[in-house]
Amino acid sequence: MVGESQYQHALRNAAAGLATTGDFASHIPVTAALVPEPGNKWDPNAVRVDVVDGDRTAPVGYLPAELAKEYQPTLLELRADGCLGTCPARIAGGGAKFYGIYLHLASPRELRFTLGGEDPLVAQRSKRAVLLRDDWSCTVTNEEDHQDVLARHAPAPGREFRNVVASLDFCEITSGKHRGQNAIEVRLDGQRVGQLTRAMTLRYGNAVREFHQQGLLVTCQAFTTSGPKGVQVELRLPPARP
């Protein structure tokens, strides 16, 4: 937050004149409204912060310029839908000290998920394909049966890994207690190189099916490594939908 020193009267009213200590538990909980100000003559990306008190609001400062630039587009979308962005906040200070306020904010990306403007699984989308986000690694199984294909995607000599893009489809499990059920099949350049475990298939299967039903190829970042077991591949995937 910036500019709080100019809004001490409003902060004092919101805090009912109380003074806080350094202990988080003593900080005064309030609700803050985030008001985009594209017409602000000093900064067209400005986002004003108001404290909400019943059906009234009072300005208490602004988001720092770098944050305002990130949040304002999403807040303008909310306003176009007749909504006002709000968040939990806490007031600290008082007594011999200036009052200050800090906000508990979701990221702009999380706000866009809430608005339905983005899919939390997708990093990029085209008319024909989606590229999934690359938040964490996921092991591929059965690579030992596909070394002829994987050898063409091995890291260059002296390199620890090689970045590749994998596509995801479905195959039938042919052995073990899950025989006859589906697994997510992993392909490089359209050729099978392994599959995900049953647990990972259950985690991501519905999302992959939904994209397929939309006529989209599902792809993800991946990397290959070489070791005693031959060439292996690791996928980079997003957190699954709840």
> How would you write the pLDDT of the chain (242 residues) with one tens digit per residue?
999 999 999 999 999 999 998 889 899 999 999 999 999 999 999 999 999 987 789 999 999 999 999 999 989 988 887 888 899 999 999 998 999 999 999 887 777 666 655 677 888 888 999 999 998 999 999 999 999 999 999 999 999 999 999 999 999 988 888 888 999 999 999 999 999 999 999 999 999 999 999 999 999 999 999 999 999 999 999 987 65
pLDDT at 118: 64
User: Are 51 and 69 in contact, with CB atoms under 8 Å apart?
Assistant: no
Q: What is the pTM of this model?
A: 0.57
Predicted confidence at residue 80, as pLDDT, reads 85
Model pLDDT, residue 186: 98
Q: Among candidates 224, 219, 223, 226, which has minimal Cα distance to 204?
A: 219
* Amino acid at residue number 96: A
What are the C-alpha distances in Å from 238 to residues 169, 188, 193, 222? 17, 19, 21, 12
pLDDT tens-digit profile of 156-203? Answer: 999 999 999 999 999 998 888 888 899 999 999 999 999 999 999 999
Q: Does residue 132 contact residue 122 with C-beta atoms inside 8 Å?
A: yes
pLDDT given at position 241: 63
Torsion over CA: 156, 162, 165, 168 (sign): positive
Q: How far apart are CA 163 and CA 221, in angstroms?
A: 7
- Which residue ranges make up each domain of the chain? 4-115, 122-237
Burial class (CB in 10 A: 0-12, 13-18, 19+), 29: exposed
pLDDT, residue 237, reads: 94
Give pLDDT, residue 160.
92
Residue 113: predicted pLDDT: 63
For the chain, helix, strand, coil in percent to 5 are 25, 40, 35
Identify the pLDDT of residue 34.
Answer: 95
What pLDDT was estimated at residue 37?
97
Q: Give the pLDDT confidence score for residue 208 in this predicted structure.
A: 95
CB 50 within 8 A of CB 58: yes
pLDDT in the model for residue 174: 85
